[in-house]
C-alpha cells in the first residue's frame, strides 16, 4: 500500500508539474499579447499629434475651397445679371437658308483637273523627247534607220568581269550574245561569216564589250577564234584582260615583231580564243591599217582562224573602221541606249546612201537601264567599267 501510495503521489506530482508548465506558457502568451497591444496603443497615442495636425490642415483647405467656390459663384451670378440686362442692337429678319455651293463650280474643277492630268504628262513627255538627243528604244531605232537590228544586249547593274559568257553561264546577257552569234551565222547564207568588224558611233557605246564576248561565244563552239584589237589610238582591251600592252598589231605592221610573237591564247577557252592587242600607240594609225602589211596579215589570220572579231575605233571620230571594213564579211555597229547621240541616224542614212551594198547591221546595247525604256522584254542591265574619253584623245599627240 505504501508503494502504491508513493506511485500515486509521484504520478500526481508529474501531472501537477505539467499543468503548472502549461499554465505558465498560457500566461506567457497572454502577457506577450497584452504587451503587443500595449505597444500598439502607445504608438497610436504618439501619432495623435500628427493626426490632429493633418486634420487641421484638411479643415483649413476645405474652408479655402468653400470661400473660393462662393466667390466664383457670386461672380457667375453677377455676369449672368449683366448679360441679361444688355439690349441687343440687331435682330433676325429672315432665317439663314442653304442655296448650295456657289463657288467654285465642282464640275468645272473636276473637268479642269482631268484635262490638266492628261495634258501635263503628255507635254512633259513630249518636251523630254524633244530635248533628248540620245538613242531610245527598239521602235525608235527601227523607225529612224533602214539597217537591220541584229540583236540587243540588256543592262547589267554589276559587271564583275569583261567576259560574261562561259560554258555554264545562263544569264540573260550570255543568252543574248548566243542569239547574236546565231543570227550572224544565218547572215552568210551560202558563205560562212568568218570576219566580223565591230564598231560604234561614239566612245562608250560598248563595242569592246560586245567584241570580246562575241569572240568568246565563237570560242565556246570549239572554233579557232581571234580577237583583233585594231583600235591603235586608244586601246584598253589588253589591259582589261591583263595582257602585255607593248606587243601587238602596231609592232607587226611596223616590222618590229612577227605575227607569232603577238598572238596570245586565253587559257579559259582551251586554246580556242586568241587575242592580238593593239600594241604601242602609233601616230600614223590610218597609214598602218591601209598598208600592204595589213592585207598580208589579214590573209594569214583568215587562213589560221575560223572566226576573227575586229574591234575598231568609233566611226564618227576616225576613218579606221572604214579602212578595215574591206577585210570583214559584215560590219556590226553597236548603239547604246540612252547614250548614243541621235546624230547616228543621219550618219547611217548618209553611209547607206553612199554604200548601199555594205553589209552593215546594228546592235542595241545597254537596253533597260533607263526605266522609261523598260517593259515587256525582261531586260536585266549592266554597267561598263571602261570606255573612251573625249574624242580629241583619238588623235595622236606628240609629247
The pLDDT tens digits of the residues spanning 356-370 come to: 888 999 999 988 877
Distance CA 8, CA 286 (A): 149
Q: Which pLDDT band, with edges at 50, 70 and 90, does 189 fall under?
A: low
Best CA proximity match to 135, nearest among 368, 380, 343:
343
Of 398 and 213, the one with more pLDDT? 213
Mean pLDDT of 198-209: 90
Q: Which three cell numbers stand for residue 340?
A: 548614243
When comparing pLDDT for 365 and 234, which is higher? 365
For residues 143, 144, 149, 151, the Cα torsion angle rounded to the nearest 10 degrees is: -80
Do residues 306 and 223 make contact, with C-beta atoms less than 8 angstroms apart? yes
Q: List, in order, residues 6 or more apart from 378 with CB less than 8 Å away.
A: 172
Question: Does the pLDDT of residue 335 top 90, yes or no?
Answer: yes
**pLDDT surpassing 70 at residue 79:** yes
3-state class of 57 per DSSP? helix
pLDDT band at 87 (very low <50, low <70, confident <90, very high): low
Do strands 273-276 and 264-265 pair parallel, antiparallel, or not at all (unpaired)? antiparallel
Highest mean pLDDT of the ranges 132-141, 211-220, 372-381: 211-220
Q: Which residue has the cell 594569214?
A: 300
**At residue 388, does pLDDT exceed 60?**
no
The whole-angstrom separation of Cα 228 and Cα 216 is 12
Least confident of 143-152, 236-245, 366-375: 366-375
Among the listed residues 183, 121, 126, the one whose alpha carbon sits nearest the alpha carbon of residue 149: 183
Confidence of residue 381 (pLDDT cuts 50, 70, 90): very low
Backbone φ and ψ for 132, nearest 5 degrees, come out as: -75, 125
How much of the chain exceeds pLDDT 70, in percent? 91
Question: Is 387 or 201 the better-scoring residue by pLDDT?
Answer: 201
Q: Does residue 331 surpass a pLDDT of 90?
A: yes
| Beta strand ranges found along 230-336 (DSSP E) | 264-265, 273-276, 307-311, 330-336
CB atoms within 10 A of CB 365: 27
pLDDT at 399: 29
Higher pLDDT, 73 or 398: 73
Alpha carbon 18 to chain centroid distance?
98
Task: Could you list the beta-strand ranges (E) of 125-194.
Answer: 149-154
CB distance 155 to 209 below 8 Å: no
Sign of torsion, CA 149 151 155 161? negative
Give me the mean pLDDT over the 287-298 stretch: 89
Residue 391 or residue 31, greater confidence: 31
| Coil/strand/helix, residue 333 | strand
Q: Which residue has the higher pLDDT, 326 or 136?
A: 326
CA 142 distance to own-chain centroid: 29
Neighbours of 329 (CB within 10 A): 18
- Residue 125 vs residue 68, higher pLDDT: 68
Short-list 17, 331, 18, CA closest to 147: 331
pLDDT-derived band at 373, boundaries 50, 70, 90: low
Position 159 pLDDT exceeds 80: no
Q: Report the chain's C-alpha Rg in angstroms.
A: 51
Residue 260, C-beta contacts closer than 8 angstroms, at least 6 positions apart? none
* DSSP per-residue string spanning 46-66: HHHHHHHHHHHHHHHHHHHHH
The rounded distance, in Å, linking the Cα atoms of 295 and 300 is 9
Delineate the domains of the chain, giving CATH numbers in brackets: 135-387 (3.40.50.300)
Span 218-235, average pLDDT: 90
Inter-residue contact 234 to 389 (CB < 8 Å):
yes
pTM for the model: 0.63
Question: Which segment of 263-272, 282-291, 347-356 scores lowest on mean pLDDT?
Answer: 282-291
Q: Cell numbers 506577450 correspond to what residue?
A: 32
The answer to whether 150 touches 364, Cβ cutoff 8 Å, is: no
Distance from C-alpha of 138 to C-alpha of 361, rounded to nearest angstrom: 14
Q: What is the model's pLDDT at position 327? A: 92
Amino acid at each position: 500500500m505504501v508503494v502504491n501510495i508513493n506511485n500515486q503521489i509521484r504520478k500526481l506530482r508529474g501531472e501537477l508539474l505539467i499543468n503548472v508548465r502549461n499554465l505558465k506558457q498560457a500566461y506567457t502568451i497572454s502577457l506577450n499579447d497584452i504587451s503587443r497591444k500595449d505597444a500598439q496603443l502607445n504608438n497610436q497615442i504618439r501619432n495623435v499629434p500628427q493626426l490632429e495636425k493633418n486634420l487641421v490642415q484638411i479643415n483649413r483647405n476645405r474652408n479655402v475651397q468653400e470661400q473660393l467656390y462662393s466667390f466664383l459663384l457670386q461672380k457667375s451670378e453677377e455676369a449672368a445679371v449683366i448679360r441679361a440686362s444688355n439690349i441687343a442692337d440687331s435682330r433676325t429678319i429672315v432665317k439663314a437658308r442653304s442655296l448650295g455651293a456657289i463657288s467654285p463650280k465642282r464640275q468645272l474643277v473636276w473637268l479642269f483637273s482631268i484635262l490638266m492630268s492628261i495634258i501635263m504628262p503628255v507635254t512633259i513627255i513630249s518636251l523630254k523627247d524633244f530635248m533628248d538627243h540620245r538613242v531610245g528604244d527598239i521602235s525608235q531605232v527601227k523607225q529612224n534607220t533602214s539597217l537591220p537590228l541584229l540583236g540587243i544586249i540588256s543592262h547589267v547593274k554589276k559587271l564583275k568581269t569583261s567576259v560574261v559568257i562561259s560554258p555554264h553561264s545562263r544569264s540573260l546577257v550570255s543568252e543574248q550574245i548566243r542569239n547574236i552569234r546565231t543570227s550572224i551565222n544565218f547572215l552568210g547564207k551560202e558563205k560562212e561569216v568568218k570576219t566580223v568588224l565591230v564598231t560604234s558611233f561614239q566612245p562608250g557605246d560598248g563595242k569592246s564589250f560586245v567584241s570580246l564576248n562575241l569572240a568568246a561565244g565563237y570560242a565556246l563552239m570549239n572554233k579557232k577564234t581571234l580577237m583583233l584589237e585594231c583600235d591603235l589610238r586608244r586601246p584598253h582591251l589588253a589591259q582589261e584582260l591583263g595582257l602585255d600592252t607593248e606587243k601587238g598589231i602596231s609592232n607587226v605592221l611596223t616590222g618590229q615583231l612577227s605575227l607569232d610573237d603577238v598572238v596570245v591564247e586565253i587559257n579559259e577557252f582551251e586554246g580556242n580564243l586568241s587575242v592580238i592587242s593593239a600594241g604601242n600607240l602609233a601616230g600614223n594609225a590610218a597609214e598602218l591599217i591601209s598598208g600592204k602589211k595589213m592585207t598580208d596579215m589579214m590573209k594569214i589570220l583568215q587562213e589560221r582562224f575560223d572566226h576573227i572579231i575586229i574591234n575598231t575605233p568609233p566611226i564618227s571620230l576616225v576613218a579606221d573602221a572604214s579602212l578595215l571594213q574591206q577585210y570583214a564579211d559584215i560590219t556590226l555597229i553597236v548603239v547604246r541606249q540612252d547614250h548614243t547621240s541621235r546624230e547616228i541616224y543621219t550618219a547611217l542614212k548618209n553611209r547607206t546612201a553612199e554604200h548601199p551594198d555594205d553589209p552593215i547591221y546594228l546592235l542595241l546595247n545597254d537596253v533597260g537601264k533607263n526605266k522609261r525604256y523598260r517593259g515587256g522584254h525582261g531586260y536585266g542591265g549592266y554597267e561598263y567599267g571602261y570606255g573612251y574619253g573625249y574624242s580629241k584623245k583619238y588623235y595622236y599627240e606628240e609629247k
